[in-house]
Amino acid sequence: MSSISQAALQNLDEPSRKEIMQFIESENSKSKVQMSIHSFTDMCFKKCNAHKPITSGTLDFAEEQCLTNCLNRFLDTNIKVVQALQGAQK
Amino acid sequence: MALFGAPSTSTASSVNSVQSQQLKQQIQDQISQELAVANATELVNKITENCFDKCITNPQISLNPQEDGCVNQCLEKYMRSWNVISKSYITRIQQSNQ
């Protein structure tokens, strides 16, 4: 899998190390956002297509609206839950 | 000593820095590549799950034309949905950062 040798890694100079660490951090947060989008799409696709068969490959206005509402209300709910738990802690 | 020593060490360290640059690029490319594969795999899995659920309610000996068409439409609809969710989510993140 990995073609990078251990010895070569140890010889990496300091600036390169730093750049790699920054690169990993940014790729990591990008990947987290992407994975969230996967789980939201999964959830909202199920919700918005629950009571109807798939009859076209496109999204009509109502379907698009359903998806954005689904996402935004989910995030609202998430914030509410966090706030409620923070309140309960005090 | 300094006369001979200094240039030789600076050459050595600049060679090392070129090697480091190359290695760094190699590592970053590999990371990007693996994340792209992970992202694509996740998309394939989610689409398969959702569209199988939606289109193949009663599995037969093979996919019939109707199921086949449904899967194609479902796949397209799912990817469009992914883009809508992605756009809305990023908008929302940007709003909350302001």
The domain total for chain A is 1
- Residues in B whose CB is inside 8 Å of some CB of A read 13, 16-17, 19-21, 23-24, 26-28, 30-32, 35, 38-39, 42-43, 46, 49-51, 54-55, 70, 72-78, 80-82, 84-86, 88-90, 92-93
Return the CATH number at A39. Answer: 1.10.287.810
User: d(Cα A7, Cα A4) in Å, to the nearest integer?
Assistant: 9
Return the CATH number at B66. Answer: 1.10.287.810
pLDDT in tens, chain B (98 residues): 455 544 444 455 556 788 888 888 999 999 999 999 999 999 999 999 999 999 999 999 999 999 999 999 999 999 999 999 999 999 999 998 88
Asked if residue B57 belongs to a domain, the reply is: yes
Residues 6+ apart with CB under 8 A from B54: A49, A53, A54, B70, B74
User: d(Cα A27, Cα B31) in Å, to the nearest integer?
Assistant: 8
Asked if residue B11 belongs to a domain, the reply is: no
ipTM of the complex: 0.86
Short-list A39, A20, A72, CA closest to B39: A39
The domain total for chain B is 1
Backbone Cα Rg of chain B: 26
- Count of CB contacts below 8 A, A vs B? 119
Asked if residue A1 belongs to a domain, the reply is: no
Range(s) of the domain holding residue A67: 6-89
Range(s) of the domain holding residue B83: 31-98
Asked if residue B49 belongs to a domain, the reply is: yes
Short-list B17, B82, B21, CA closest to B46: B82
Asked if residue A39 belongs to a domain, the reply is: yes
SS3 assignment, position B78: helix
pLDDT by residue (tens digit) across A29-49?
999 999 999 999 999 999 999
Q: What residues of A are in contact with residue B19 (Cβ under 8 Å)?
A: 8, 11
